[in-house]
Structure 1
Amino acid sequence: MKFPTLLACIFLVISSFVNAQEKEITLEQIWNGTFRQERLQSLQSLKNGEEYLVLNQDRSTGTTAIDVYNYNTGKQVRTMLSSSDLAEIPSFQDFQLSEDENKILLTTESEGIYRRSSRGIFYLYDFQTEELTKLTDRMVQEPTFSPNASKVAFVFDNNIFIYDIASGEETQVTFDGEKNETINGVTDWVYEEEFAFVKAFQWNPSGEKIAYLKFNESKVPEFSMDIFGQDLYPSEYTFKYPKAGETNSLVSLHMYDLASEENEEIDLSEYNDFYIPRIKWTTEPMQLSVQVINRHQNDLDLIFVDAEGNSKKVVLNEKDEAYIDITDNLTFLEDNSFIWTSEKDGFNHIYHYNKNGKLLNQVTSGDWEVTNYYGFDKKNKRIFYQSTENGSVNRTVYSINPKGKKKQLLTSKTGTNSADFSADFTYFINSFTDTKTPYVYTLHRAKDGKLIREIKDNSQLLKLEEAYSFSPKELSTIEVNGNELNMWMIKPGDFDENKEYPLLMFQYSGPGSQSVSNTYFNSNDYWYQLLADEGYIIACVDPRGTGYKGAAFKKVTQRELGKYEVEDQIAAAQQFGSRNYINEDRIGIWGWSYGGFMSSNAILQGSDTFSLAIAVAPVTSWRFYDSIYTERYMATPQENPAGYDDNSPINHVEKLKGDYLLIHGGGDDNVHLQNTMRMVEALIQANKQFDWAIYPDRDHSIYGGNTRLHLYTKMTDFIKNKL
């Protein structure tokens, strides 16, 4: 009797083990955070270079504290400030230290405006006097200390104000700010979205001047959206949005002198229809650098403006047949020479110029890209950067001297390495990930990359995932239209090369983007694991026009967005379909935003290749999208009508054969619902059947509450029923 009992026990153990290994992922788990990676909290280095700050929240009490940690040991050494010690505010969402670290601005009641902008109530705390002062009762934007921390400048209702900390007095700098008319000191919608900055004013190093931008948007066409909300009648939200070829804001550069309380406009009359994507003070207190670029964004001047005499000179000019990317890499050294990055030799590299704009040296070179410029260590004369020297899907961190000599590799693992340096470049925290490794955070010595200690990893996540037997993300390349394109593929866990599987392709494909990288799973990757459990193969290909493989590869799509990228996706799908294990009659494609534009084009122009497509928040005609982004790649519709129309999905609806799902957020201020509505009307008039869904009042991210769960349930069901 004992032998059968023992056998039964063994059978039960084996069955339990097999069942554990066969555990399947659910959409609820993906969107409730079950597989969320542990990340290192956002930290800020103190000037001493030995300590850093972390904003921590006590969930039990709702209080927040700014805690100080030691880089070398990782141990908390003290609390700089806690809301539990401040009677006026129970908590704060963010903070900003003054340059001398003796004062701090605390953000409360913060509310978002657009993607990067917000307003809030701010408090000023003085560490020496231990006094807390409310900056103003109004909801303001971008409060910023003067260099000596005696004043704070901020923007309210499109005007700039200065608060004097000692006296408590407030000075209004500009008076013409008005909603949808004139903006001072912060950017308009299109600058914020496409040039990626909000604060458009800068204190000079001595605190005597403020340089700022003014946007006259009175002639910019308005866009309006109905917001349905919960009230009996919807409200209408109206804002200035320049579509391709339409009138932009007139931008002007101004200088405010605190002593005289006078504003003066800097004369830029030699330029016509231009942008000012960056202003930055040099190391000389009265010299401002200004980047001015033409509307086509292929001719840029770096100008030095004398803040006392307002004279100016062009110190650097850069031209490109296609376009010039705007970055935050400009760095002024102590002698006012400067670091600049450029694609002018065909790949993005670092250059060193003297204070008059004469090229001293091309610091980096090679058939690879500098992907991040971290800064300059003035003590040791070292430049720190991230690059693709180990392959376009990987990232490594290096240091080098300004002469381009003595290059030092600071990271050792193959994958994606990203560095966060201490203020004095003594240390850096490296975040590492690859297709098999969720984020690992380690502390290193900056001079040679030596590992000091491990900070945090995601071993618990890997342990949790053991029960699911997730399929690996396989990185490789595919030869398409004469180019070697990066790709990844995820196959079912029980993959059998003698069977046929349906294929779902994902892509984004936008200019300079990258969807194929040596990184661990994101939320979509977990969704792909769910689909793999259902017997689907998922693949992603980065076509021509995407980034990190040189300027020629990236800019080949100029004036023809959606042509070469679509050709590559169709050709890749056809190659996949020729593989024995992929059913060529069951190939689908999906994407979001630019990827939705692409997936729509793919099922229309590749109607004999794709049997299914999902487009989320797609651009359906570049005529509907904003001026700065669209014209960078397409020029204006007046100059390039064929480029706009030849690859607009709206103009190919009669070719639809397969199953098409169209999804959009009703409150999308970025890619307007107009895109989907015009596509819907075109499909209806072509008598084409399709599926579609609108998420009321949701913006471009289509997020909030159960929205994402509902969205991915809809897409999953569509794929399972149609592909």
Structure 2
Amino acid sequence: MQSKYTLLLFFVTAISAVTAQNQQITLEEIWGGAFRTEGLQDLHSMNNGRQYSVLNTTGDSVSVDIYNYASQQKVQTVVSSNELEDIDSFSSYTFSDDESKLILATDVEPVYRRSRLGKYYVYDTKTKSLTAIHPEKIQEPTFSPDGTKVAFGYRNDLYVKDLFTELTIQITRDGAKNKIINGITDWVYEEEFGFVRAFEWNASSDKIAYLRFDETNVPEFSMDIYGKALYPTQQVFKYPKAGEANAKVTVFVFDLPSKKGSSVYLSNNSDIYVPRIKWTNDPNILSVQVMNRHQNDLNLVFYNAKTSERTVVLNEKSDTYIDVTDNLTFLADNSFIWTSEKDGYNHIYWYNSDGSLKDQVTRGPWEVTNYYGYDKTTNRIFYQSTQEGSTNRSVYSIGLDVKDSRKLTQEVGTNNATFSSDYSYFINNFSNTTTPPKYTLYNIKDGTYKVLKDNKDLASKLEDYKLPQKEFFELTTEKGHKLNAWMIKPTNFDASKKYPLFMYQYSGPGSQQVSNRWNGANDYWYYMLAEQGYIVACVDGRGTGFKGADFKKVTYKELGKYEVEDQIDAAKELGKRDYIDADRIGIWGWSYGGFMSSNCLLKGNDVFKMAIAVAPVTSWRFYDTIYTERYMQTPQENPSGYDENSPINHVEKLKGAYLLIHGTGDDNVHVQNTMRMVEALVQANKQFDWALYPDKNHGIYGGNTRLQLYTKMTNFIKDNL
């Protein structure tokens, strides 16, 4: 017979086990970092191909440590903040080409989404010395290839510091706020072409090519900054809205020995874009990518800095638009690798140095989604693709002779590789909806692999929550469009009941939300909502990416038309299911997704009961030139495309519950969008809810902001769905 104590212990243990397995996710946990994953920070492959470095943080100490690929043993600490007298810590590092020096970043502050200001130091691994590059905060410090100099941007001008003499020369002298920028991109280039450093060293370290932006005629945008002082201040910056004047961009080449600069002639038309510059292996030959304003005509220009001769080696045209990438790679003979959608899918091409096509390296009804590089020793190209389906990513290699394609990764989901410098190893970051990020070392030569980090502690922790499953499926609309989708049902799902449906989407051109990867913060929110009795679904409609150019580019000149049709049609299709209450369907989105959710509630007012729009575009007339005109041309050329699909022009159709949210410090999608939407709704005598977050940018975060925001949205869903 068991004692009373034993029986009591048994029941307590059993109850504890049941309670643990039914633990509920809270917003405090989501936004408090309870489900954060571990990774490898600032991973860099060393030149020898046998080792790699990472940034490690232990307590108050930060270090750059080197590990051996094969043994996984730490072999060296390159630098530790404990050993440095002049700085307490650093947040990132960059090696010189010969790895004898590092640039360490300290006291870094954001400017816009990608740009940063900071104090930077050069650390010499031989002398153990630390030298400030500049006494003030600077931008984008970059070693010359020979490691003897550092170029950087400061107050809109470009400088070079000689690390031996410690003398700094000023390359440009006309930089002025909101007028002229040298070597650093303007707001719209940074946001839409995705780069900040607009200067490049040549191979022999004696020339720098850079972009000069003349913003004089670009209209200014101003934002009130409320802060904590008695009076608010204003942030004023140049922001070209669709159809307005862009900065005039000029390419210059500065010769350091002669201390002379010269401009590069590119076109008779000054209204052009220069989205990329890159030196070839020849230290005198600079490649420049030049696009027309419509972004459907791209020239790859070779400029000879010695003779001033320019040659268009490649021209690509499209009936819609051309996406800019960082995939251009020059081989030893200056032949080059290029990616293009010209056969209907994004693939890899190999061209001679004169621009004649040597071969199309990859082909098929799938997309190359990441180009990793070329190994000259084995003559192989390494890339990531959707060959296992548009929602998955796998890593492959293929011979430059278009033979012997090999799949290098093992598991189905999202694989992303970081290769060693000699392509003998790669560290793969893998995840899917049931597997948190797992970092695995692959030996390419013998095919063996070893798990480095697997986030097992997080996986074990989540077992106590008994999370619902994310189910992937293909949804076919009544019009016959086949769309990728996922759905989350409550763990205690009962098919005989009817559940409200809450839909999420982003829907922007070339984007993807239906992807077989590990959870983001929003996924945990969806799991929480599912456990509270909602079915959550996401559908990638036409216009989204990775299913071919035709599927992606169908929205050209009509942003918000076909994508909205697909969300409305998807909601109708899902509403036919016995377990979904077709009278209780809601939708939400952020940024482009907020533009979409607003349109869906208005144009689909017989389908959607409620919508939440965070930081939405409400008229494409308010957004920037590069992004908007890429897909819409200008408002002057395409007024109906702008106006017929902008929610600001359909407010009279509002029937359901609408929550509108924006940060007043949003430099990207300006709060002007929400203010104009509010005024239109007021004049239409429509009731709605809205919230402004003072001084918060497009991400609306900081302190308890995200927790308060998601609490507000959760309560709105419960009250209206």
The one-letter amino acid of 1:637's match is P
The one-letter amino acid of 1:33's match is G
Are positions 1:53 and 2:50 aligned together? no
Using the TM superposition, give the Cα deviation of residue 2 of structure 1 relative to its aligned residue in structure 2, in angstroms. Answer: 5.7
Contact between 1:223 and 1:240, CA under 8 Å: does it hold in 2? yes
Are positions 1:245 and 2:249 aligned together? no
Once residues 439 and 619 of structure 1 are traced to their aligned partners in structure 2, the CA distance between those partners, rounded to angstroms, is 33
Once residues 438 and 93 of structure 1 are traced to their aligned partners in structure 2, the CA distance between those partners, rounded to angstroms, is 25
Task: Give 1:147-186 correspondences, 5 Å limit.
Answer: 147-186=145-184
From 461, 471, 475, the equivalent of 2:472 is 475
Give the structure 1 partner of residue 104 of structure 2. 106
Give the structure 2 partner of residue 573 of structure 1. 571
The one-letter amino acid of 1:456's match is K
Aligned residues: 720
Task: Give 1:54-93 correspondences, 5 Å limit.
Answer: 54-59=54-59, 62-93=60-91
Give the structure 2 partner of residue 685 of structure 1. 683
Tell me the alpha carbon deviations over residues 95-154 of structure 1, each in whole angstroms, 9 at most, x when there is no partner: 221111112222111111111111111212222333322212121111111121121111
Gaps spanning 5+ residues in structure 2: where? Answer: none
Using the TM superposition, give the Cα deviation of residue 387 of structure 1 relative to its aligned residue in structure 2, in angstroms. Answer: 0.3
Are residues 345 and 231 of structure 1, via their aligned partners in 2, closer, same or farther at CA, if it must alter by over 3 Å? same
1:383 match: secondary structure:
strand
1:468 match: secondary structure:
coil
Are residues 434 and 264 of structure 1, via their aligned partners in 2, closer, same or farther at CA, if it must alter by over 3 Å? same
Mean CA deviation greater in 49-58 or 235-244:
49-58
Give the structure 2 partner of residue 202 of structure 1. 200
Once residues 121 and 458 of structure 1 are traced to their aligned partners in structure 2, the CA distance between those partners, rounded to angstroms, is 34
Using the TM superposition, give the Cα deviation of residue 3 of structure 1 relative to its aligned residue in structure 2, in angstroms. Answer: 8.9
The one-letter amino acid of 2:35's match is F
Task: Give 1:584-599 correspondences, 5 Å limit.
Answer: 584-599=582-597
Mean CA deviation greater in 411-420 or 627-636:
411-420
Contact between 2:414 and 2:430, CA under 8 Å: does it hold in 1? yes
Using the TM superposition, give the Cα deviation of residue 423 of structure 1 relative to its aligned residue in structure 2, in angstroms. Answer: 1.0
Tell me the alpha carbon deviations over residues 515-554 of structure 1, each in whole angstroms, 9 at most, x when there is no partner: 0011122111100111111100000000000000000000
Are positions 1:452 and 2:446 aligned together? no
Tell me the alpha carbon deviations over residues 144-188 of structure 1, each in whole angstroms, 9 at most, x when there is no partner: 111211211111111111111111111111110000000000100
Task: Give 1:267-416 correspondences, 5 Å limit.
Answer: 267-416=265-414
The one-letter amino acid of 1:58's match is T
Contact between 2:40 and 2:54, CA under 8 Å: does it hold in 1? no
Using the TM superposition, give the Cα deviation of residue 5 of structure 1 relative to its aligned residue in structure 2, in angstroms. Answer: 8.0
Mean CA deviation greater in 366-375 or 45-54:
45-54
TM-score, normalised by the number of residues in structure 1: 0.98
Once residues 147 and 567 of structure 2 are traced to their aligned partners in structure 1, the CA distance between those partners, rounded to angstroms, is 55
The one-letter amino acid of 1:466's match is E
Once residues 709 and 558 of structure 2 are traced to their aligned partners in structure 1, the CA distance between those partners, rounded to angstroms, is 31
Contact between 1:502 and 1:586, CA under 8 Å: does it hold in 2? yes
Using the TM superposition, give the Cα deviation of residue 446 of structure 1 relative to its aligned residue in structure 2, in angstroms. Answer: 2.5
The one-letter amino acid of 1:476's match is F
Contact between 2:514 and 2:539, CA under 8 Å: does it hold in 1? yes
Task: Give 1:407-556 correspondences, 5 Å limit.
Answer: 407-447=405-445, 450-480=447-477, 481-556=479-554
Using the TM superposition, give the Cα deviation of residue 268 of structure 1 relative to its aligned residue in structure 2, in angstroms. Answer: 2.0
Once residues 470 and 33 of structure 1 are traced to their aligned partners in structure 2, the CA distance between those partners, rounded to angstroms, is 17
Are residues 604 and 682 of structure 1, via their aligned partners in 2, closer, same or farther at CA, if it must alter by over 3 Å? same
Using the TM superposition, give the Cα deviation of residue 290 of structure 1 relative to its aligned residue in structure 2, in angstroms. Answer: 0.3
Once residues 155 and 356 of structure 2 are traced to their aligned partners in structure 1, the CA distance between those partners, rounded to angstroms, is 42
Using the TM superposition, give the Cα deviation of residue 15 of structure 1 relative to its aligned residue in structure 2, in angstroms. Answer: 3.5
TM-score, normalised by the number of residues in structure 2: 0.98
Contact between 2:248 and 2:270, CA under 8 Å: does it hold in 1? no
Once residues 255 and 150 of structure 2 are traced to their aligned partners in structure 1, the CA distance between those partners, rounded to angstroms, is 15
Once residues 83 and 679 of structure 2 are traced to their aligned partners in structure 1, the CA distance between those partners, rounded to angstroms, is 59
The one-letter amino acid of 2:48's match is N
Once residues 65 and 684 of structure 1 are traced to their aligned partners in structure 2, the CA distance between those partners, rounded to angstroms, is 56
Are positions 1:631 and 2:629 aligned together? yes
1:91 match: secondary structure:
coil
Contact between 1:272 and 1:294, CA under 8 Å: does it hold in 2? no
Using the TM superposition, give the Cα deviation of residue 447 of structure 1 relative to its aligned residue in structure 2, in angstroms. Answer: 4.0
Contact between 2:602 and 2:650, CA under 8 Å: does it hold in 1? yes
Contact between 1:389 and 1:395, CA under 8 Å: does it hold in 2? yes
2:628 match: secondary structure:
helix
Contact between 2:42 and 2:92, CA under 8 Å: does it hold in 1? no
Using the TM superposition, give the Cα deviation of residue 11 of structure 1 relative to its aligned residue in structure 2, in angstroms. Answer: 5.0
Using the TM superposition, give the Cα deviation of residue 323 of structure 1 relative to its aligned residue in structure 2, in angstroms. Answer: 0.5
Contact between 1:442 and 1:451, CA under 8 Å: does it hold in 2? no
Are residues 485 and 299 of structure 1, via their aligned partners in 2, closer, same or farther at CA, if it must alter by over 3 Å? same
From 703, 706, 717, the equivalent of 1:705 is 703
Give the fraction of aligned pairs with identical amino acids, expressed as a percent: 60
1:120 match: secondary structure:
strand
Gaps spanning 5+ residues in structure 1: where? Answer: none
The one-letter amino acid of 2:95's match is L
Contact between 1:341 and 1:348, CA under 8 Å: does it hold in 2? yes
Once residues 597 and 447 of structure 1 are traced to their aligned partners in structure 2, the CA distance between those partners, rounded to angstroms, is 49
Once residues 19 and 81 of structure 1 are traced to their aligned partners in structure 2, the CA distance between those partners, rounded to angstroms, is 47
Are residues 123 and 408 of structure 1, via their aligned partners in 2, closer, same or farther at CA, if it must alter by over 3 Å? same
Contact between 1:72 and 1:452, CA under 8 Å: does it hold in 2? no
Are positions 1:31 and 2:31 aligned together? yes
Once residues 16 and 199 of structure 1 are traced to their aligned partners in structure 2, the CA distance between those partners, rounded to angstroms, is 56
Give the structure 2 partner of residue 669 of structure 1. 667
Contact between 1:211 and 1:254, CA under 8 Å: does it hold in 2? yes
Contact between 1:66 and 1:82, CA under 8 Å: does it hold in 2? yes
Tell me the alpha carbon deviations over residues 20-79 of structure 1, each in whole angstroms, 9 at most, x when there is no partner: 2222111001111111122222211110011111112232xx232111111112111111
2:517 match: secondary structure:
coil
Are positions 1:141 and 2:135 aligned together? no
Once residues 170 and 272 of structure 1 are traced to their aligned partners in structure 2, the CA distance between those partners, rounded to angstroms, is 33
Once residues 10 and 148 of structure 1 are traced to their aligned partners in structure 2, the CA distance between those partners, rounded to angstroms, is 70
1:92 match: secondary structure:
coil
The one-letter amino acid of 2:18's match is V
